[in-house]
Amino acid sequence: MAIFLQLLFTGIGIGAVYSLVALGFVLIYRATNVVNFAQGEFAMLGAYAMVVLTQDLGLPYWAAIPISLAVMGLIGALFNLGVYYPLRHRSFLPVVISTIGASILLTNSVLVGYGPAPESLAGMFDFPGIQIGEVFLDSQYLLIIVVTILLVAFQYFFFEHTLLGKKMQATSQDKEMASLLGIPVARMIMLTFIYSAILGGLAGILVAPILFVSVGLGSQVALKAFAASIIGGFGDVTGAIVGGLSLGVIETFGAAYISVPYKDAFAFLVLFGFLLIRPQGIFGEKVAQKA
Amino acid sequence: MPLLELHGLSAAYGAVEALKGLSLHVGEGEIVALLGSNGAGKSTTLRTISGLMKPKSGRVLFDGKDIGGLHPESVVRLGVAHVPEGRRVFPGLTVKENIMLGASNRPGVSRRELEAGVEEMFELFPDIRRFSGALGWTLSGGQQQMVAVARGLMSKPRLLLLDEPSLGLAPLIVQQVFRIIARIRERGTTVLLVEQNARTALSVADRGYVLETGRLIIEGKPDALWNNEEVRAAYLGGRVTAGV
Ligand SMILES: Nc1ncnc2c1ncn2[C@@H]1O[C@H](COP(=O)(O)OP(=O)(O)O)[C@@H](O)[C@H]1O
Ligand SMILES: [Mg+2]
């Protein structure tokens, strides 16, 4: 039982990171109908921003985190202007290729600066964690879980209870109609990119002390997050969260009880299962075709 | 000076010329019907007025100011609301949210003003009040049409562009929608009404224009248009026995 709870805790922690990146996928997909293949690179950049600020510049965590997030917001805005906006009237494929290009560019730029050797980042707290009975709650995992809960709550409040949130939803549902009502569509999409980049960056910042910080971090996390959003039902916010958490738990249990080397394979086995049996995902397409 | 004037307006979808030098005017307080068969260019006319399409040539004068080629977001801020073909109610938002967003053209509008505006719309459209919390996609066609019109009115427009409000509705609902259009004008809003259902449209309109393949065929008073056998047979789909 103790082992079960211990694994569940770890699985939820790592799953929360997948959820954050998956949320970024979903928000951009809903706003622009395009899959952003550079979403994982946002996580990688967030992690490297922490390396730069805390190790190269020697800033404390409490200062480095908000600065990193601000930098991520700026990167999201530039990404929108450079990668999406010029192609916004084109079809799906050119924009997707543009995001893949951006992903390659970002990865290789970091490679030039930091090389292929991974960096490692210290944990954010001095105290290692809390022991409850036989279960040990690692402080970094606890932080990840708490931050994810707060973010999900914030996001729910924002989209369901603020006018700006409603305008962003309207934009993602019908851009032409939104503009006819006077909703500044370009600005709504800009905000979506900024927020998604911050979400991705935050995932990278949170996970950096657990994983090694390397240029491969982006694709490593993004593949899982992408699988998570398909499992949850692509385009569904709740689905992204549930999908991310399930994936984290499944791969943790799979690694513990079945095989450690095949840890990464479990995520994709589950993904294949869904694609075969329920391709629309757990929460897929609740909105029926328009009357 | 008319509230809206189109001068030699042309517009195209790539190589398809949908409007070829259209001129018309709508006076303040009028209901003007824009008629014609499928593909005549009626929707294109409204899309060019509201900024969804850029004119290829010609001018769109609203209140004397050339608004041709402005973004839709700017046009609606000047007081032109476009309720497009197919109603386009946001499927994943509630009726109340849909209506509220209609005021997005008014900067700094307070939550209380929004609530009051929604309340006013529910008084104008009592049938949709009980669906206030229902998601857009769950509504019937008639209910969606009322939400779409209410949403358009929330911008407090001087000119309302309505594209085929009767499309796909049961005859009884059509009557109801047209009574509402008459009331909208009584409230002081000018209406440019696009319809294929010529008879019903002419029953509320002050004047009408008939389009074919992007050109104006004839304009006139409802009786004159309806009683012109040739026009009626060729463009209005009317039977000889029908009257206004
Ligand atoms: N998105 C489009 N792309 C290409 N051609 C279009 C498009 N929309 C309309 N058209 C063409 O423009 C002409 C006018 O269309 P429209 O204004 O929609 O007519 P109406 O509203 O009177 O039925 C038609 O020939 C139609 O085929
Ligand atoms: Mg039409």
Q: In which residue are the tokens 């409802």 written?
A: B222
Beta-bridge mates of residue B194: B34, B163
A188: burial class by Cβ within 10 Å (0-12, 13-18, 19+)? buried
What tens digit of pLDDT does each residue of A229-260 get?
989 888 788 889 999 999 999 999 998 888 88
- The answer to ipTM > 0.90 is yes
Which one of A89, A164, A180, A236 would you mutate to disrupt binding with B, by most B Cβ within 10 Å of its Cβ?
A180
DSSP string, A233-265: -TT-HHHHHHHHHHHHHHHHHHHHHT-STTHHH
**Residue A160 clears pLDDT 50, i.e. is over it:** yes
CA of A177 to the centre of ligand 1 (A): 18
pLDDT at A260: 83
Q: According to the 3-state scheme, what is the secondary structure of B158-202?
A: CEEEEECCCCCCCHHHHHHHHHHHHHHHHCCCEEEEEECCHHHHH
Q: Which residues surround ligand 2, an ion (CB under 5 A)?
A: B 43, 85
Ligand 1 atom closest to the Cα of residue B38 is: 23
At A131, phi and psi to the nearest 5? -100, 120
Q: Which of A194, A213, A237 is nearest to A69 (CA)?
A: A194
Q: Whole-model pTM above 0.90?
A: no
- The answer for B 99-128 residues in CB contact with A (under 8 A) is 100-102, 104-106, 111, 114
The H or E element containing residue B209 is: strand B207-212
The rounded distance, in Å, linking the Cα atoms of B164 and B88 is 12
Cβ atoms of residues B16 and B10 within 8 Å: no
**Residue A291 clears pLDDT 50, i.e. is over it:** no
What tens digit of pLDDT does each residue of A68-77 get?
999 999 999 9
Pocket probe mutation, ligand 1, options B9, B13, B37, B163, max atoms within 8 Å of Cβ: B13
What tens digit of pLDDT does each residue of A165-223 get?
999 999 999 999 999 999 999 999 999 999 999 999 999 999 988 888 999 899 889 99
Structural domain spans, chain B:
4-235
Beta-bridge mates of residue B159: B80, B190
Pick B4-235's CATH classification: 3.40.50.300, 3.40.50.12280, 3.40.50.2300, 3.40.5.10. Answer: 3.40.50.300
Any ligand 1 atom below 6 A from CB of B20:
no
Domains and CATH numbers, chain A: 2-277 (1.10.3470)
Report the gap between the CA of B70 and the closest CA in chain A (Å).
12
Give the residue with greater pLDDT, B229 vs B160: B160
The mean-pLDDT minimum among A13-17, A134-138, B80-84, B159-163 falls in A134-138
pLDDT at B196: 87
Q: Which of B165, B166, B159, B221 is nearest to B185 (CA)?
A: B159
End-to-end CA distance of chain B: 29
End-to-end CA distance of chain A: 51
**Residue B88 clears pLDDT 90, i.e. is over it:** yes
Residues A68, A73, A76: CA angle, nearest 5 degrees: 125
What tens digit of pLDDT does each residue of B95-125 get?
999 999 999 999 889 999 999 999 999 999 9
The rounded distance, in Å, linking the Cα atoms of B70 and A252 is 55
Residues of chain A with pLDDT > 90, as a percent, come to: 59
